[in-house]
């Protein structure tokens, strides 16, 4: 499909005609030689001397070439373009932060794999998260790990394969043995500051009570609610344990309720897989669709044609002048 980026330029097409009919003719004084016997020469030639000017006229071919060159120049200035087929781009309209507890208690092997064998908590979480991340193709995701301190393991990225690689590099205890749940939520809120979308989802997985945060989980969740961050919490620990090994289910429920999210509990790998499936079903992929048509400029074609006509007409004029002088 052909279009013009500046179609208003075609209003200039009649400009030469307006100049030709309404502008005064160009006048130019030239030097001449005055001879005392001019009248005798004129009388001998049978001519009647008169005062006035000489108007140079173009041939029909020259007029046609001038018109064609002007049309080509105006066509080039209108910037003709060839429109390609529409290209649709889908951009994620929601950002997701994964906050994963890697405190010392995540080393316990009390999770059951699909075949019934015991499995380390963190390894079971990793296996389920890999499938969850792969299913979010096109979304932007970030990964936060927390123990005694919270760290951004991977900032927001659409390269989910690299995000999975960062997840594989995490190990129990690398962020400290304790649980800083409130700090992890606070760090997630700060991570969202670079987000340009309105829908923000945080998934927090923890297996212990908050023992080392500088900000309580309740205060952090209140700030998250004010910032429009929805938090889904997942408890994977033992609620009957004591001390730091006891997962604080009430705190996880309060966090989810304050942000209009939802709380889940999983005690084996199958239950954890079901939890992420429910989260995925409740929060399907949200995208913003943008489409555009690539444009290929064609202005150089009429411009090149006009240049060739100018060169050809100039060369033809020079050759005809040379022939006249030779004759």
CATH of the domain at 256: 3.40.50.410
Kindly list the distances between the CA atom of residue 196 and the CA atoms of 95, 136, 141, 163, 192, in Å, as whole numbers in the listed order: 9, 18, 13, 20, 8
Same domain, 99 and 77: no
Same domain, 157 and 201: yes
Same domain, 256 and 220: yes
Same domain, 128 and 208: yes
At 33 the pLDDT is: 73
Same domain, 152 and 246: yes
Same domain, 222 and 309: no
At 194 the pLDDT is: 81
For 38, the domain range is 2-26+34-84+297-326
Determine phi and psi for 123, rounding to 5 degrees. -65, -40
pTM: predicted TM-score of the whole model, two decimal places: 0.63
- Tally of domains in the chain: 2
Residue-wise pLDDT for 98-108, tens only, equals: 999 998 888 88
CB atoms within 10 A of CB 222: 15
Same domain, 253 and 127: yes
Same domain, 144 and 183: yes
CB atoms within 10 A of CB 110: 16
* Residues lower than pLDDT 70 in the chain: 50-56, 88-93, 241-245, 283-290, 325-327
At 104 the pLDDT is: 85
3-state class (DSSP) for residue 73: helix
């Amino acid at each position: 499909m052909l279009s013009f980026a500046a179609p208003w330029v075609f209003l200039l097409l009649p400009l030469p005609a307006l100049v030709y009919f309404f502008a005064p003719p160009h006048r130019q004084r030239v030097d001449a030689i005055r001879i005392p016997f001019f009248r005798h020469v004129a009388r001998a030639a049978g001519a009647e001397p008169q005062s006035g000017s000489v108007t140079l006229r173009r041939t029909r071919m020259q007029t046609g070439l001038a018109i064609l060159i002007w049309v080509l120049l105006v066509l080039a200035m209108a910037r003709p373009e060839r429109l390609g087929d529409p290209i649709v781009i889908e951009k994620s309209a929601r950002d997701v932060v994964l906050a994963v507890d890697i405190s010392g208690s995540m080393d316990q092997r009390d999770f059951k794999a699909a075949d019934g064998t015991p499995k380390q908590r963190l390894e079971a979480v990793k296996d389920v998260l890999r499938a969850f991340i792969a299913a979010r193709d096109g979304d932007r995701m970030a990964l936060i790990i927390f123990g005694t301190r919270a760290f951004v393991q991977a900032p927001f990225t659409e390269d989910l394969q690299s995000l999975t690689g960062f997840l594989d590099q995490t190990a129990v205890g690398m962020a400290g043995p304790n649980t800083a749940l409130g700090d992890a939520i606070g760090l997630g809120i700060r991570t969202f500051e670079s987000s340009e979308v309105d829908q923000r989802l945080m998934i927090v997985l923890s297996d212990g009570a908050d023992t080392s945060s500088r900000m309580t989980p309740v205060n952090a969740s209140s700030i998250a609610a004010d910032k429009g961050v929805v938090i889904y919490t997942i408890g994977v620990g033992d609620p009957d344990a004591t001390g730091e090994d006891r997962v604080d289910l009430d705190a996880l429920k309060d966090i989810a309720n304050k942000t209009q999210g939802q709380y889940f509990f999983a005690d084996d790998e199958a239950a954890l897989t079901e939890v992420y499936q429910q989260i995925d079903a409740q929060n399907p992929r949200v995208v913003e669709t943008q489409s555009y048509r690539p444009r290929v400029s064609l202005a150089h074609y009429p411009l090149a044609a006009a240049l060739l006509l100018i060169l050809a007409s100039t060369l033809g004029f020079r050759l005809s002048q040379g022939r006249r002088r030779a004759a």
